[in-house]
Amino acid sequence: MSKVSLSVRDHMSNRLATLREKQDIREAVKIFTERNLFGGAVLDNLGNLVGILSVTDCIDVALRSGYHSGWRGLVGERMSRDIRTVDADDNILNVAKMFMENPYRRYPVMEDNTVVGVITRLDVLKALSKVSESGVPV
């Protein structure tokens, strides 16, 4: 029976787009579609996390823009500033509870005040499955 890590860092993804507030929303859409991502972390000039832009935010821009006017706007105008994060050393069981109690689909993962990855609901489910298969009680 091998030991399964309960640390977020061992289950997170480092596939994360980083964006800037002044970046054109169309650039963010291009990044998301080309890299098959569901969102990105918005950083200020010092690399601090200041927001999250999701694919849903971009769909909203598309719907509001109308057929002829085109997609207009900056990432900073559409991003969410209500950011919930987890630490790379957090316990995956605590993150699972956070997903059950909140509507979020993913959390940016932080280490030393720097975004180092993202953890999704599916990442947590995979981790819990590994824990279950290992026979370790949770």
In a domain, 80, yes or no: yes
Note whether residue 73 is domain-resident: yes
Q: How far apart are CA 26 and CA 61, in angstroms?
A: 10
What does DSSP assign to residue 14?
-
The yes-or-no verdict on residue 1 having pLDDT over 60 is: no
Is the pTM higher than 0.75?
A: yes
Residues 6+ apart with CB under 8 A from 68: none
Average pLDDT for residues 108-127, to the nearest whole number?
95
Spatial distance between the Cα atoms of 52 and 108, rounded to a whole number of angstroms: 9
Report the CATH number that the domain containing residue 117 is assigned in CATH. Answer: 3.10.580.10
What are the phi and psi torsion angles at 10 (to 5°)? -85, 0
pLDDT at 131: 85
Q: What is the average pLDDT across 2-14? A: 89
What is the Cα Rg of the chain in Å?
A: 17
pLDDT in tens, 13-47: 998 899 999 999 999 999 999 999 999 999 999 99
Residue 97: pLDDT above 90? yes
**Bridge partners, 43 (sequence order):** 20, 49
Residue 1 lies in a domain: no
Is residue 51 situated within a structural domain? yes
Domain membership of residue 55 (yes or no) is: yes
Domain span at residue 57?
Answer: 8-134
Closest residue by Cα to residue 80 from 105, 107, 57: 57
Helix (H) or strand (E) holding 127: helix 121-134
Residue 78 confidence (pLDDT): 93
What percent of the chain shows pLDDT beyond 70? Answer: 92
Evaluate whether residue 85 is within a structural domain: yes
Listed range (8-12, 68-72, 97-101) with the worst mean pLDDT: 68-72
Q: Residue 92 — very low, low, confident or very high, per pLDDT cuts 50/70/90?
A: very high
User: What does residue 71 show for φ and ψ, rounded to 5 degrees?
Assistant: -85, 120
- Mean of the per-residue pLDDT values of the chain: 90
Structural domains counted in the chain? 1
Query: Does 127 reside within a domain?
Result: yes
Query: Residues 48-60: pLDDT tens digits?
Result: 999 999 999 998 8
- 3 assigned to some structural domain: no
